[in-house]
Amino acid sequence: LVLSDARLTDVSFEDCHADMINLRMARLQRVRLSATRCRQADLLEARVADLSTDGADLRGASLDRATFTAADLRGAELEDVRGASALRGAIISPEQVVGVGLALIGEAGIRVE
């Protein structure tokens, strides 16, 4: 699914399979991902405001240079995301700390031996 440069407002994705969805440079406002699989989603330079996730699978997503405002990512699978520093200000649950933390460590070029 290619939605690059799209403007999505008041949209809900429920029980979908949208692996590799292209949301490059898209503007998303009040978007909900519920039980939706978006593995390897491309959100390069996307502007996301008021995002909620409930059982969303965002593993391997590319978040490089994206901005998130009022993003509630609790319940989302966030392992192996690229550009994890874009999640600044987002809300995650304690269960997501390891996955997001490992992504941030990798982004910073820190080696764990």
Range of the domain at 32: 7-106
Identity at 8, one-letter amino acid code: L
- Model confidence at 98, pLDDT cuts 50, 70, 90, reads very high
In a domain, 97, yes or no: yes
In a domain, 28, yes or no: yes
In a domain, 112, yes or no: no
In a domain, 1, yes or no: no
Q: How do residues 38-66 score in pLDDT, each as one tens digit?
A: 999 999 999 999 999 999 999 999 999 99
In a domain, 65, yes or no: yes
Mean pLDDT of 63-74: 95
In a domain, 83, yes or no: yes
Q: What is the H or E stretch that residue 107 is in?
A: helix 97-107
In a domain, 40, yes or no: yes
pTM of the model: 0.90
CATH of the domain at 43: 2.160.20
Looking at the 3D structure of the chain, how many domains does it have? Answer: 1
Which is more confident, 112 or 109? Answer: 109
Partners of residue 72 on adjacent β-strands = 52, 91
Q: How do residues 18-27 score in pLDDT, each as one tens digit?
A: 999 999 999 9
Cα distance between residue 109 and residue 100, in whole Å:
14
